[in-house]
Amino acid sequence: MISKHMAPYMEGNKTVRAMFELGKNLAAEIGAENVYDFSLGNPNVNPPEAVKQAIIDILNTEDPHVVHGYMSNAGFDLTRQAIADNLNQRFGGEGAHYAAKNIVMETGAAYALNVVLRTILDDEDEIITFAPYFLEYANYVRNYNGKTVAVPQSPETGFQPNLDAFEKLITPRTKGVIINNPNNPTGVIYTEETMTKLAAILKKKEEEFGTVIYLISDEPYRELVYTDVKVPFAPKFYDDTIVAYSFSKSLSLPGERIGYLAVGDEADGAEELLAALAVTTRVLGTVNAPSLIQLAVARCLNEKVDVDYYKKNAEDLYRIVTEAGFEAVKPQGAFYLWVKAPDGDDNAFVNAGIDCHIIMAGGSGFAGPGYVRLAFCVDHEMILKSEPAFRELAAKYF
Ligand code: PLP
Taking only the tens place, the pLDDT of each residue in 108-133 is: 999 999 999 999 999 999 999 999 99
- Report the candidate in 247, 205, 218 with the shortest Cα–Cα distance to residue 141: 218
Closest approach atom of ligand 1 to CA 183: 3
Question: In which residue ranges of the chain is CATH 3.90.1150.10 found?
Answer: 4-47+306-395
- Report the candidate in 30, 21, 67, 140 with the shortest Cα–Cα distance to residue 295: 67
Taking only the tens place, the pLDDT of each residue in 229-269 is: 889 999 999 999 999 999 999 999 999 999 999 999 999 99
Q: Which residue among 16, 130, 184, 258 has the greatest number of ligand 1 atoms within 8 angstroms of its CB, and so is best to mutate?
A: 184
- pLDDT of 13 reads 81
Q: How many CB atoms lie within 10 A of CB 228?
A: 6
The sign of the torsion formed by the CA atoms of 188, 189, 191, 195 equals positive
The set of protein residues with a Cβ atom below 6 angstroms from ligand 1 is 41, 108-110, 134, 180, 184, 218, 220, 246, 248, 254, 259
User: For residues 357 and 345, what is the distance between their CA atoms, to the nearest angstrom?
Assistant: 18
- pLDDT of 306 reads 97
The sign of the torsion formed by the CA atoms of 102, 258, 8, 162 equals positive
* Residues 6+ positions from 160 with CB-CB distance below 8 Å: 154, 188, 190, 191, 194
Decide if domain 4-47+306-395 falls under CATH 3.40.30.10: no
For residue 110, the CA-to-ligand 1 centroid distance in Å is 6
Query: pLDDT band at residue 280, thresholds of 50, 70 and 90?
Result: very high
Q: In the predicted model, what is the mean pLDDT of the chain?
A: 96
Give the C-alpha distances (Å, rounded to integers) separating 239 from 194, 264, 270.
Answer: 16, 7, 10
Taking only the tens place, the pLDDT of each residue in 156-191 is: 999 999 999 999 999 999 999 999 999 999 999 999
pTM of the model: 0.97
Calculate what percentage of the chain has a pLDDT beyond 90: 93
Residue 17 scores a pLDDT above 90: no
Q: Which residue among 111, 129, 189, 246 has the greatest number of ligand 1 atoms within 8 angstroms of its CB, and so is best to mutate?
A: 246
Question: In which residue ranges of the chain is CATH 3.40.640.10 found?
Answer: 49-298
Q: What is the dihedral of CA 56, 57, 59, 63, to 10 degrees?
A: -170
The answer to whether the CB of 131 falls within 8 A of the CB of 368 is yes
Mean pLDDT in residue range 212-230: 96
Q: 49-298: what fold?
A: Aspartate Aminotransferase; domain 2 (3.40.640)
- Report the candidate in 232, 251, 141 with the shortest Cα–Cα distance to residue 192: 232
Taking only the tens place, the pLDDT of each residue in 336-352 is: 999 999 999 999 999 99
